[in-house]
Amino acid sequence: MSIFTSTGKDTETSGRSRHLLRFTPTQKTCFVIPKSRKQSERIVQAINRPTRDTAESFIYKWSDTREVRAPDSKAYAVLNDMEPPIPAGVMDAFRNYSIDPVPWSRKAEAIAELAA
C-alpha cells in the first residue's frame, strides 16, 4: 500500500503482521489526510478495478495497521464504478471492516468528510 502524505515524504509503519509497509508518494493510489480540528486522520485508497482481491488486499492492510494508527482514524475506499460495475459483496466487505466505500459516481457525498 503506497501512501502519499501531505508532506510528500515517505513514511513507514508495521502492523500486527510485523511486515514493514513503506508508504511512498511514487504510487499515488493511497493517501493519508492528516487529522484536523474537525476531522480525524483519514486513509483513502483509490481502487480502479474493484474486485474481491483488491478489496481483500486493502482490508488486510487496514486491519494490519489499524492498531498503530490513532483510534479515531477512518479508512475510505474510493471505487471506480463507471465500467464495469462494482461486484456484489465488495461494498459489504468494506463495511464489515469499518472501511467506508465511496463509489466514484457518489464522490460528492464524501467531500465534507474528506475535506480538512
Neighbour count for residue 83 (Cβ, 10 Å)? 6
Q: Please spell the DSSP secondary structure of 35-55, one letter per residue.
A: --SSS--EEEEEESS--HHHH
Does the pTM surpass 0.85? The reply is no
Residue 67 lies in a domain: yes
Residue 21 lies in a domain: no
Residue 6 lies in a domain: no
Residue 17 lies in a domain: no
Q: How many domains does the chain have?
A: 1
Residue position matching grid coordinates 471492516: 97
Q: Which three cell numbers stand for residue 66?
A: 489499524
Q: Find residue 14's DSSP bridge partners.
A: 20
Residue 79 lies in a domain: yes
Residue 104 lies in a domain: yes
Note the pLDDT tens digit of each residue in 27-75: 457 888 899 999 999 999 999 999 999 999 999 989 988 888 899 999 9
Give the residue ranges of DSSP H helices in 1-89.
52-65
**In 3-state terms, what secondary structure has residue 11?**
strand
CATH code for position 57 = 3.40.1350
Residue 1 lies in a domain: no
Domain interval for residue 94: 27-114
